Amino acid sequence: MRLSQAFVPTVKEIPADATIPSHQLMIRAGMVRALAAGVYVFLPLAQKVLARVMRIVREEMDAIGGQELLLPSLSPIELWEQTGRVKAFGDTLFHVKNRPLVLAPTHEEVVCWLARNHISSYKEMPQIWYQIQTKFRNEPRPRSGVLRGRQFLMKDSYSLDRSREGLDRAYDLHAGAYKRIFTRCGIRFFIVGASSGAMGGTGSQEFMMESPSGEDVIALSEDGTYAANLEVATSIVPAAVRVPGGTAIEEVHTPGVKTIDALSAFLKVDTRCLAKSVVYRAGDAHVLVLMMGNDSLNESKLMAVLGTDVRPLEAEKLRELTGADGGSIGPVGLRGFTILADNRLKGANGLISGANRNDYHLRNIDLERDCAIGGYHDLRTVEEGEPSPNGGGNLRIVRGIELGHIFKLGTKYADALGAMFLDENGKESPVIMGSYGIGIERIVACHIEQNHDDNGIVWDRALAPYDVHLIAVSARSAQVTEAAEALYGELGRSGVDVLFDDRKETSPGFKFKDADLLGMPYQVIVGEKNLAAGKIEIKERKTGTRTLVPKADLVATIQNLLS
């Protein structure tokens, strides 16, 4: 492609709303334009990259026996009502105004509808169906460019099985395919393990990439073998040790002392001897959670234990129930609360906690002896530097972006929509499903997040829109033009995909800047001086390494570099 004719509207200015590198670079490199918030136009360079990603995805999906189909975006709302997902998606679901239809945010319902109508016997399974299709989600405040669009391409696949073993197999096949897809796309990723629970499934893994632009927070072991969302991550921390002697509780006056650190300094004791009380409202119930010292309570873990939403208990209510304010609350003699404690405090004694009387604390508390603990659970949030639970070194807390998700759905959707089949014994059973998604544009944006420098994008060969960026440095020189034109023809004939900067009026400086910004793996630079010596310069974008090769060897050298 000749840059003089190509529609590649590069710009110098970074738009104010583009805050992350991939968003900024995709706009600067003339790849995308925002038509509306979260809605993007993909220009020719971006379309070429998307095509490369989709090709890799299709090859790997086909290799695990996936069959490509195409499901519609318009979907009868009735199906979504039957699975309860009109409510579950809430405002994220786009509704159609003049028909009882929604714009599909994902396709479990439609797949189940297909299975209900066309799969009737165990003999017709297993099946793996996949598509690459546009999804619609009314994401609140999208602000990360194509990483989070309101309309985006997803490869979604669904497995239909007659047994749990079948589902396990389909799931493992997908895990393998996903590893190959992200590896081939040149993305460094990690896998975050099963956070079963809220979604009701039996297993799920997220394929993630570390990035400060990410919205998920993950605990990652040094060696990368442990990765878990902070919401469920655990670590190895020493539990409380019982101290000898069963000393009776005594009250201590602690005027104005409200925080754990202040209390520890005031009483000259280690923070680990202090039991901090955190109070919540959970529906109509009141919950007091005891945490060791400065450990921070993990609300997600608490919600998982209680099976319901929680919110902090209002100050007035707390005073009404305990007669004291936050900072002086404790588990001894407390009424009207369910008391839970973090595992770390299991069986602890010699503890100090609030006296439920402002400016007073109690010491020598023995949780077993003095309190009615309703249960010990893992309720703490892990911290940077704590040992990983699997022995993989210390934990780092990083931000991540979800690239893909594999999920054992089980029979949840088949039950709701009546997708049944007759098993070997003639018994009717619900189809066992798995669902597996990958964001196509998100792969592109993530690739750029990981592969760029101050000057622009640094494409990996697998995704680069072109293999080579050929630059006729001074297109006013007849020799340069003639040599560059000849190379353009030869490279093209030998199967190399070339973007040719043949622009006549553009200065060499601009051409070099654009070549770095667009980021093709190799730049072939045809300059007057080198040409006079029979040489052509090759610059590797990634390393900046420049080599001079005889003009006659150029095509072979490039072919070598690309193979």
Where does this chain bind ligand ATP (CB under 6 A)?
106, 137, 139, 148-149, 152, 154, 402-405, 437-439, 441-442
CB of 303 to ligand ATP, least distance (A): 18
Q: Which amino acid is at 305?
A: V
CB of 404 to ligand ATP, least distance (A): 5
The nearer residue to ligand ATP, 3 or 20, going by C-beta atoms, is 20
CA dihedral 394→400→402→405, nearest 10 degrees, is: 10
The nearer residue to ligand ATP, 357 or 399, going by C-beta atoms, is 399
CB of 263 to ligand ATP, least distance (A): 39
The nearer residue to ligand ATP, 331 or 404, going by C-beta atoms, is 404
- What is the token pair recorded at 204? 């799920």
CB of 89 to ligand ATP, least distance (A): 10
The nearer residue to ligand ATP, 83 or 163, going by C-beta atoms, is 83
Among all residues, whose Cβ is closest to ligand ATP?
439
Task: Provide the residue count of the chain.
Answer: 563
CB of 135 to ligand ATP, least distance (A): 7
Give, in order, the Cα–Cα distances in Å from 24 to each of 20, 21, 88, 162, 447.
6, 5, 33, 47, 14
The nearer residue to ligand ATP, 47 or 247, going by C-beta atoms, is 47
Cβ-proximal residues to 16 (8 Å cutoff; 6+ apart), any chain:
none
The nearer residue to ligand ATP, 109 or 441, going by C-beta atoms, is 441
The nearer residue to ligand ATP, 214 or 527, going by C-beta atoms, is 214
CB of 19 to ligand ATP, least distance (A): 16
The nearer residue to ligand ATP, 119 or 401, going by C-beta atoms, is 401
CB of 483 to ligand ATP, least distance (A): 44
DSSP, res 202: S
Cβ-proximal residues to 51 (8 Å cutoff; 6+ apart), any chain:
none
Give the Cβ contact number of residue 20 at 10 Å.
19
CB of 439 to ligand ATP, least distance (A): 3
* Strand 468-472, strand 522-526: pairing: parallel
| CB-based contact 307:282 (threshold 8 Å) | no
* Strand 420-422, strand 452-453: pairing: unpaired
CB of 75 to ligand ATP, least distance (A): 15
Find the helix or strand (DSSP H, E) in which 85 lies. Answer: helix 85-89
The nearer residue to ligand ATP, 31 or 531, going by C-beta atoms, is 31
Cβ-proximal residues to 142 (8 Å cutoff; 6+ apart), any chain:
37, 38, 148, 149, 150
Give the Cβ contact number of residue 492 at 10 Å.
15
Give the orientation angle of helix 440-450 with respect to helix 21-28, to 10 degrees.
100
- What is the token pair recorded at 479? 């020799």
Task: Please name the residue that has the structure tokens 């995909």.
Answer: 497
| CB-based contact 401:209 (threshold 8 Å) | yes
